[in-house]
Structure 1
Amino acid sequence: MKIKNRSCSLLACWLFFISCTCLLAQSRPSQVISVKSPNNKIELKIELKGQILYSIYFNSREVISPSPISLTINDNIVLGKRPVLENVSRTSADDRISPAVREKRAIVIDRYQQAKLKFRGNFGLIFRVYDDGVAYCFYTGYRVPIKIRGEEATFTFPENYQVYFPFISSLHTSFESTYSYLPVKDIGPERFGYAPVVVDLNDGFKIAITDVAVDDYPGMFLTGNKEGLARLTGKFAPYPAEEKLRQRSDRELEVVQEANYLAETRGNRQYPWRLILLAENDAQLVSSDIVYRLSPPTELKDTSWIKPGKVAWDWWNALNIYGVDFKAGINTETYKYYIDFASTYGLEYIILDEGWSDPADLFKTNPELNLEEVVKYGEAKKVGVILWCVWYTLDQQLDRALDYFQRIGVKGIKVDFMDRDDQKMVNFYRRCASAAAKRRLVVDFHGAHKPVGLRRAWPNILSKEGVLGLENSKWSALVSPEHDLLIPFIRMIAGPMDFTPGAMHNAQEKQFRPVFDLPMSQGTRCHQLAMYVIYESPLQMLCDSPSAYLQEPEIMAFLSAVPTVWDETLVLEAKIGDYLVMARKHGDDWYLGGLTDWSPRTFDLKTDFLEPGKNWVADIWQDGVNADRQAVDYKKLKIEIKSGDNLRINLGPGGGIAIRFTPAR
């Protein structure tokens, strides 16, 4: 009895202490912590008074108004309510990162100022201020696992700016939406979309919002504000308490019951970054690599086996090969034909997409296909084989299937139809990438959320879909030149995107129609070629039929040469949704790609990115004089050029241009 009374007394004392602490916190004057970017253009202010708020200034202009943030754990304990600051530690960094897989550049400069705030209650926040953005994340220091009940992540704007926003209707989504352009307040609390989004501050200045380093935690969606503020608010998928395959489906694992928490996770950890990218102009949206900088370092000691490259893909062109003496289809002869084509033009891989096996059992191979024979044939021709699989099937057979793939010489997997990013699905991405890396297999995630930093930790993840890509042209007209010029400014901020370019049947707007088995693209032939320079994907598809490519040796002269990884990246001309011209370097060569929407455009470019003192040869693939009527029309030119020379390029409606600059020999 005495022990019980003592326990009650201790509890009463503890509650009294907490109450006093809260009252003291409420009565304290506001505390403001300031952190500036290395170049002093960006200032972050963190205000503590009853809650935690942050605001951001660029050259003294407020671009993010005071925005509350908090984390709710366990029995609805709000980390951030009446915060009591214990200390602030400040650090800075000026590092050089050499990516295992070079997406934009060979050397990534990681320079920032950081403030780490520790609060009473064994939690804190880390704020980083870069020259091109601000990021923050929570951390906790508990010894036992905890449940995350909710997170308050808000992004408040001083005015009702316009935003490029990809609406979705369900948390079960393929992350393949078009972008609406509307005022932030018009989104409202009932509608939501996925990150990244881009906010237009009307004078050329842009803000992009996304999440990074998402691990053992759900990804971030964004919604509007019920109080009528110009504010975006984070929305997170609850933990799936119960899942069930949809009726007559082998791939869509629906969440039929949600838990009353977002994640159950270790208590001693750092949580995902919330990133606010600041861009003075549209070009900076494309050139920034801040997401990579915020991502966790690689967990692989040896990355030498990871091989980026181009892929001859079967599914988009529906295996429509011709001029052969065998029946095309999912069979050994057809895939040997794809391998022969890939070998002829130095493509690193082919993909066997849906149909090579029973989607529900990776060990039930199509009877018309001798998989091991195809893989061995590819090895002899130096062409690797990548196998498509439903994520759910792969997860059920993970170790057994990957062991088998490794044993027979398969080089990678294309994993499809995840269509979620709750904590459980996020953990699958890591589990799959890790298991694949142990077998030296590269990974391409389709039906996936956008990149969230995992590719730096596991660089065998060469690409991700999470984009309204060219496959949609098989059944809709959504993938237009305007859309093509939104995604590099918005989706590509997050990381590589497997858009799957390379269509050889091209159409102007009035001529286009979706045909599932004989698909075409909107825009010109050179519009498709330019995508290989502009769209980042270390694993890049050639989506059309080998038979179509074989009829166009001039086109293949470009597609066989263009790399998929880059040493330098420059944005020469840029306007979101309208046009983009970029130059990228690989080895000694430079490549230039230019895209326009349905408006024809002319640009006069300076070639001072070329090394001076050398003569250069420019191989040019440009829109033909009749490309406005017949989109397949193009012209191949070769000229000599020197660094600093003017270069005029003409892009037709829905047009493009691709140039390869090589030192004259």
Structure 2
Amino acid sequence: MKNTFFVCLFILTFNASVHAQVLKSPDGNLILEFNLNEAGTPIYSLQYKQKTALKESKMGFVLKSDILLNKDFKLTNTQFQSENNTWRPVLGEQKEIRNQYNEMKVDLLQDKSERKITICFRLFDDGLGFRYEFPVQENLRHFIVQEETSEFNLAGDHKAFWLPGDYDSNEYKYTTSRISEIQTLMLDALNESLAAQSPIKNVAVQTPLMMKTSEGLYINIHEAALTNYPAMFLNVDSKTFALSSHLTPDAVGNKGYIQTGSHTPWRTIVVSDDARAILASKLILNLNDPCQFEDTSWIKPVKYIGVWWEYFIGRGSTWAYSDDQDVVIGPTDFSKLKPNGTHGANTKHVKEYMDFAAANGFDAVLVEGWNEGWEDNTAFKKERIYSFTKSYPDFDVKELSMYAAHKGVKIIMHHETTSSTVEYERQLKDAFQFMVDNHYTAVKTGYVGPIIPRGEHHDGQAMVNHYSYVAREAAKYKIMVDSHEAVRPTGLNRTYPNWFAQESARGTEFESFGGNNPDHTTILPFARLMGGPMDYTPGIFQGDLSVYGSKKNKLSSTLVKQLALYVTMYSPLQMAADLPENYMRFVDAFQFIKDVALDWDDTYILEAEPGDYITIARKTKEKQEWFVGGITDENPRIATIDFSFLPKGKSYVATIYEDGKDADYQTNPQSYAIRKMVVNRKTKLKQQLAAGGGVAISIQ
């Protein structure tokens, strides 16, 4: 249903006392006010249940060179409409999503210059989205954005869960602090050794930014539908609690190259007094364009294992075939190089993984290090580092393709670019055709290190366009994409559902580099996952890496929490990341990973508090089965699991995977127990979670 009505305001001369334009959410809990101040600057504010979510905040742009598109405006037209419909995602947390909002568009004309912009506000029951639209006009055609001046002025010194602003990496640890403490804590937060780092010089944080106010409001700021525009960070004023947009620059310092007739991404503010509603919000997805593909039958969820974790844990397995540091892609004959004897992606070893996948019901095997060029993978100075169509001599593409078909599994292609995106785009079509010819249906792309073209950033406009270009090109070959080290997602998995997962945050691999904090996975769903599914790569059963000899790291979770992550960290692409031998040591616990679904009819957020705990139940798509996952931070707690999501009048058998009585993520992470009980919709379970622990439940 779509209702449209118009309100036109004709203002012949500049009028600083224009009455505020008011927009309410469908349920009336959110109220947006828009106005022009005395300088003709657009101003908006947001209230939730009579509490201030955002104070009056300015809007606009500075164009190159110092052209101010943020003042001297007059309001020429206001248009309202409402929308209320539902749509079905190809893959998702629920089979149907409601899209209901009230919209207000304000047309603004700048005095003297006669430049025009339109600001579109959409107010949902769970928050606000707004974007800038640039009408085709005589006095503005092509222009360069020097900075966007959108503000998000906070009403107090909120508790925030934040990552430091960095144009090239989102793989930092989360810091939890008050807004006023961010400046003081920034240097410590940036103290990480990452493959590519470009910290923002002023105090800035990344989005999604999750906050909690002293009044009990939960506020999340991010963006939706990021295309042909740089990613947004948030400048932080630690004294006034004011946030303002900060766009990623390109190699020469410009932010965005825009042509009129286009628009910016949406700026999103999700608000509730219930943390569960933040996790349940579909506002960001709703602000993205519908699916661009007519046929989506080839887009499937994937549960996989891989020749991957062994590279990180110090077992002597390597990506590279030889130790020769002077290879040149093209002229080098790799068959004449001396093998190093540690290359993991060899035919025999990959077959072993295929056997394990087939025997345990997995869809696919990821193989990293299969292709020529890994000897130079840390150079960051060569444009052409890899071939994406030539395998190492000990990786027989044709033989493995036939073996995979015989076993009923797929191989997931790996395209690590080492951020040489120029070369990747040169090879892209040949690489995708190579995949089709050899029956690969999914690819994991990687962007480790500084970007080539040099001076560009992972989060800049050029790279934003690159990521979506890869997804669109892949769709032409019916290939699904899992991108790592890419810009954080903004809901484009609705538009391009073959772009079905991203890393774009600190994943499990960092447990081998120096660890993640126990609260990390209780923050990620409120932050990074607001934009889309994450390939977090859970399922590590052997958390003490010292058993492999060269590392002393320990995981920040119990074994049972690793199981629960398959439910709390939504993704249609889920890896069982540990070594097969470790799963064979804990066969009964491994059963949950084998059973858990990847695509869902419904999702129920049972309990949630950012940084502390999350408990989620999900119903498998088109099946009468449910899975529950509950996790906690470093503090043990009792989770309350309410089974009222089950159908009336029926009882089910629940298999409960729980922390052992002596379990603790630091001292005894592998202690667990498994029990069964009969449950119905009236059942309420009080479940003990260990420090850094969790619970996982299968219901059939």
Could you tell me whether the CA contact under 8 Å between 1:449 and 1:465 is conserved in 2? Answer: no
| Matching residue of 2:697 | 659
- The CA distance in 1 between the partners of 2:142 and 2:292, in whole Å, is 23
Deviation, 1:328, is 7.9
Q: Which digits, 9 at most, give the CA deviation of each residue in 1:91-138, with x for residues without a partner?
A: 001110100111x21111111000011122332010011101011100
Counterparts in 2 of 1:327 and 1:432: CA distance versus 1, 3 Å: closer
- The CA distance in 1 between the partners of 2:352 and 2:614, in whole Å, is 36
Are 2:222 and 1:210 equivalent residues in the alignment?
Answer: yes
- The CA distance in 1 between the partners of 2:69 and 2:75, in whole Å, is 12
Could you tell me whether the CA contact under 8 Å between 2:370 and 2:395 is conserved in 1? Answer: no
Are 2:390 and 1:353 equivalent residues in the alignment?
Answer: no
- The CA distance in 2 between the partners of 1:505 and 1:328, in whole Å, is 23
Q: Which digits, 9 at most, give the CA deviation of each residue in 1:177-196, with x for residues without a partner?
A: 12222332444582222100
Are 2:353 and 1:338 equivalent residues in the alignment?
Answer: yes
| Matching residue of 2:398 | 372
Q: 1:113 aligns with which of 102, 116, 137?
A: 102
Are 2:17 and 1:29 equivalent residues in the alignment?
Answer: yes
Are 2:501 and 1:463 equivalent residues in the alignment?
Answer: yes
Q: 1:381 aligns with which of 398, 403, 407?
A: 407
Are 2:171 and 1:176 equivalent residues in the alignment?
Answer: yes
Could you tell me whether the CA contact under 8 Å between 1:475 and 1:514 is conserved in 2? Answer: no
Deviation, 1:394, is 2.5
- The CA distance in 2 between the partners of 1:88 and 1:155, in whole Å, is 23
Are 2:523 and 1:497 equivalent residues in the alignment?
Answer: no
Counterparts in 2 of 1:633 and 1:592: CA distance versus 1, 3 Å: same
Q: Which digits, 9 at most, give the CA deviation of each residue in 1:132-173, with x for residues without a partner?
A: 1011100012264332232112100122223221114x4222
Q: 2:514 aligns with which of 469, 473, 476?
A: 476
| Matching residue of 1:312 | 305
Deviation, 1:515, is 7.4
Counterparts in 2 of 1:516 and 1:415: CA distance versus 1, 3 Å: farther
Q: 1:79 aligns with which of 31, 53, 69?
A: 69
SS in 2 for 1:456: coil
Deviation, 1:513, is 10
| Matching residue of 1:198 | 210
| Matching residue of 1:297 | 290
Q: 2:232 aligns with which of 197, 207, 220?
A: 220
| Matching residue of 1:95 | 85
- The CA distance in 2 between the partners of 1:470 and 1:319, in whole Å, is 10
- The CA distance in 2 between the partners of 1:580 and 1:424, in whole Å, is 36
SS in 2 for 1:217: coil
Deviation, 1:356, is 3.8
Could you tell me whether the CA contact under 8 Å between 1:358 and 1:364 is conserved in 2? Answer: no
Are 2:143 and 1:146 equivalent residues in the alignment?
Answer: yes
Counterparts in 2 of 1:518 and 1:512: CA distance versus 1, 3 Å: closer
Q: 2:250 aligns with which of 228, 239, 242?
A: 239
- The CA distance in 2 between the partners of 1:280 and 1:450, in whole Å, is 26
1:324-335 equivalence runs, <5 A: 329-335=344-350
Counterparts in 2 of 1:597 and 1:319: CA distance versus 1, 3 Å: closer
Letter in 1 for 2:120: I
- The CA distance in 2 between the partners of 1:592 and 1:515, in whole Å, is 35
1:19-58 equivalence runs, <5 A: 24-25=13-14, 27-49=15-37, 50-58=40-48
Q: Which digits, 9 at most, give the CA deviation of each residue in 1:187-240, with x for residues without a partner?
A: 4582222100112212331111001111110011112138x4211111111233
- The CA distance in 1 between the partners of 2:17 and 2:635, in whole Å, is 57
Deviation, 1:329, is 2.4
Could you tell me whether the CA contact under 8 Å between 1:319 and 1:328 is conserved in 2? Answer: no
Counterparts in 2 of 1:516 and 1:214: CA distance versus 1, 3 Å: farther
Q: Which digits, 9 at most, give the CA deviation of each residue in 1:351-403, with x for residues without a partner?
A: 11235432522233111111222122212222111111123342231111111
- The CA distance in 2 between the partners of 1:593 and 1:46, in whole Å, is 42
Greater Cα offset, 438-447 or 596-605: 596-605
Instruction: Return 5+ residue gaps in structure 2 as ranges.
Output: 1-9, 110-114, 184-200, 317-340, 375-385, 449-456
- The CA distance in 1 between the partners of 2:532 and 2:646, in whole Å, is 26
Are 2:436 and 1:406 equivalent residues in the alignment?
Answer: yes
Counterparts in 2 of 1:516 and 1:443: CA distance versus 1, 3 Å: farther
Could you tell me whether the CA contact under 8 Å between 2:11 and 2:75 is conserved in 1? Answer: no
Deviation, 1:74, is 5.3
Could you tell me whether the CA contact under 8 Å between 1:316 and 1:519 is conserved in 2? Answer: no
- The CA distance in 2 between the partners of 1:83 and 1:91, in whole Å, is 23
Are 2:673 and 1:635 equivalent residues in the alignment?
Answer: yes
Counterparts in 2 of 1:146 and 1:457: CA distance versus 1, 3 Å: same
- The CA distance in 2 between the partners of 1:402 and 1:626, in whole Å, is 50
Instruction: Return 5+ residue gaps in structure 1 as ranges.
Output: 1-20, 241-257
Q: Which digits, 9 at most, give the CA deviation of each residue in 1:493-544, with x for residues without a partner?
A: 121111110101135xxx9899777975222110100000100111111111
Counterparts in 2 of 1:217 and 1:327: CA distance versus 1, 3 Å: closer
Q: Which digits, 9 at most, give the CA deviation of each residue in 1:607-633, with x for residues without a partner?
A: 111112112011111112232342112
- The CA distance in 1 between the partners of 2:282 and 2:11, in whole Å, is 41
Deviation, 1:75, is 4.9
| TM-score, with structure 2 as normaliser | 0.83
- The CA distance in 2 between the partners of 1:211 and 1:92, in whole Å, is 21
| Matching residue of 1:277 | 270
Deviation, 1:335, is 0.9
- The CA distance in 1 between the partners of 2:407 and 2:99, in whole Å, is 40
| Matching residue of 1:620 | 656
- The CA distance in 1 between the partners of 2:88 and 2:459, in whole Å, is 29
| Matching residue of 1:63 | 53
- The CA distance in 2 between the partners of 1:199 and 1:327, in whole Å, is 46
SS in 2 for 1:167: coil
Deviation, 1:72, is 3.2
- The CA distance in 2 between the partners of 1:447 and 1:371, in whole Å, is 27
1:555-594 equivalence runs, <5 A: 555-586=589-620, 587-594=623-630
- The CA distance in 1 between the partners of 2:25 and 2:70, in whole Å, is 24
Are 2:389 and 1:363 equivalent residues in the alignment?
Answer: yes
SS in 2 for 1:43: strand
Letter in 2 for 1:152: T
- The CA distance in 1 between the partners of 2:295 and 2:550, in whole Å, is 42
| TM-score, with structure 1 as normaliser | 0.87
- The CA distance in 2 between the partners of 1:470 and 1:641, in whole Å, is 33
Are 2:123 and 1:129 equivalent residues in the alignment?
Answer: yes
- The CA distance in 1 between the partners of 2:506 and 2:434, in whole Å, is 33
Deviation, 1:641, is 2.0
Letter in 1 for 2:249: P
Greater Cα offset, 129-138 or 625-634: 625-634
Aligned residues: 612
Letter in 2 for 1:650: Q
SS in 2 for 1:312: strand
Identity %: 27
Could you tell me whether the CA contact under 8 Å between 1:358 and 1:365 is conserved in 2? Answer: no
Are 2:564 and 1:530 equivalent residues in the alignment?
Answer: yes
Greater Cα offset, 416-425 or 557-566: 416-425
Deviation, 1:434, is 0.6
| Matching residue of 1:450 | 488
- The CA distance in 2 between the partners of 1:158 and 1:594, in whole Å, is 32
- The CA distance in 2 between the partners of 1:236 and 1:514, in whole Å, is 43
Are 2:150 and 1:157 equivalent residues in the alignment?
Answer: no
Deviation, 1:569, is 1.0
| Matching residue of 2:198 | none
Could you tell me whether the CA contact under 8 Å between 2:307 and 2:345 is conserved in 1? Answer: no
Letter in 1 for 2:142: P
- The CA distance in 1 between the partners of 2:616 and 2:469, in whole Å, is 36
Could you tell me whether the CA contact under 8 Å between 1:139 and 1:268 is conserved in 2? Answer: yes
Could you tell me whether the CA contact under 8 Å between 1:285 and 1:489 is conserved in 2? Answer: yes
Greater Cα offset, 424-433 or 282-291: 282-291
Could you tell me whether the CA contact under 8 Å between 2:467 and 2:486 is conserved in 1? Answer: no
Counterparts in 2 of 1:94 and 1:516: CA distance versus 1, 3 Å: farther
